[in-house]
Structure 1
């Protein structure tokens, strides 16, 4: 069975998700193929992605696509953009309505195989703390995003594109002025290669 189909059939977190405030069943959102030139390493699908079966199918995704300067068709074309989250399923909300972190068992079970399946993308976006810690070890998101030149043009650390980070974006205008133009150039070149 191909790896994407194996992941889609995964139910190891069924009991865990049933115990959340959302009490939902696993529905892995698998959105990658071999040799895509761009990889987005992210946290986990949100509720909208859980319902639609398409990653970043929400305002965060619209902001991410704007940061990348690519259209919806390019973003959701798995031959061009591979999306490999730390958790393939929506983890649920806690009793206060906050996002539950992606279960570590998902990355432990699937991440190495998913990354090997994707191969070596020309540009990797590490979106948010969970993905950045997996790939780079412990560190602060702001520091990593600020030091983008250390890994560019092959890797870019990004804050999560959630509306919750709008204040962060206003506080750090260098992100839009310096980081995004370099990111867009790297993505344009990777897609054209």
Structure 2
């Protein structure tokens, strides 16, 4: 497992397409209980090397109902983005994650995680990759029970996504408390 993660962290496969030097962000142990499958690291995360070390991470931890110590304990949470490196800027927010990472790294890493009890798909890129079909992200988030016990879909917690949250108040009112209960059960 550690050798595989070392290889992933040294990956330069899509270097020529990245705006900055590759700095893959991926964290896990064989004991990880929950996998966070998200979009890609943002610029702040690229600079610090600490996953979810930004406003999106603060909101995600709030949704999960965990503090930083619990969150950054890799025996609790594995971090496996769709793209391991910062992809650059787009018109609104960051560019999409590079398409090379997930097919190259996800299956080998996931096959080593023997204690996983839940995979949380954060944002449309992760949800569409793992749950292809006709449902949009809002439908996948609202119908989260249909994907249990393996997956739980969330919108991206980015401040850029605040309009989605304001249009869908049911998410934080109804879904987040249920998610927090599930997370607490797994980590207990």
TM > 0.5 between the two?
A: yes
Q: Look up the match of 2:10.
A: 9
Does the CA-based 8 Å contact 2:36-2:119 persist in structure 1? yes
Displacement, 1:156? 1.4
Q: Does 1:181 align with 2:182?
A: no
Number of aligned residue pairs: give it: 186
Q: Spell out the pairing of 1:36-185 with structure 2 (5 A cutoff).
A: 36-94=32-90, 96=91, 98-138=93-133, 139-152=135-148, 154-185=150-181
> Secondary structure of the equivalent of 1:11?
coil
Displacement, 1:177? 1.6
User: Where does structure 1 differ by over 3 angstroms across 4 or more consecutive aligned residues?
Assistant: none
CA-based RMSD: 1.6
- Runs (5+) with no aligned partner, structure 2: none
Looking at structure 1, the residues matched to 142 and 168 of structure 2 have their Cα atoms a distance apart, in angstroms, of 9
Change in 2 beyond 3 A, CA 1:184/1:97: closer
Q: Spell out the pairing of 1:15-26 with structure 2 (5 A cutoff).
A: 15-17=16-18, 23-26=19-22
- Runs (5+) with no aligned partner, structure 1: 18-22
Looking at structure 1, the residues matched to 21 and 142 of structure 2 have their Cα atoms a distance apart, in angstroms, of 38
Deviations 1:156-179 (A, max 9, x none): 110000111212112111111211
TM-score (norm 2): 0.93
Does the CA-based 8 Å contact 1:84-1:115 persist in structure 2? no
Looking at structure 2, the residues matched to 184 and 155 of structure 1 have their Cα atoms a distance apart, in angstroms, of 15
Displacement, 1:107? 1.4
Does the CA-based 8 Å contact 2:93-2:160 persist in structure 1? no
TM-score (norm 1): 0.90
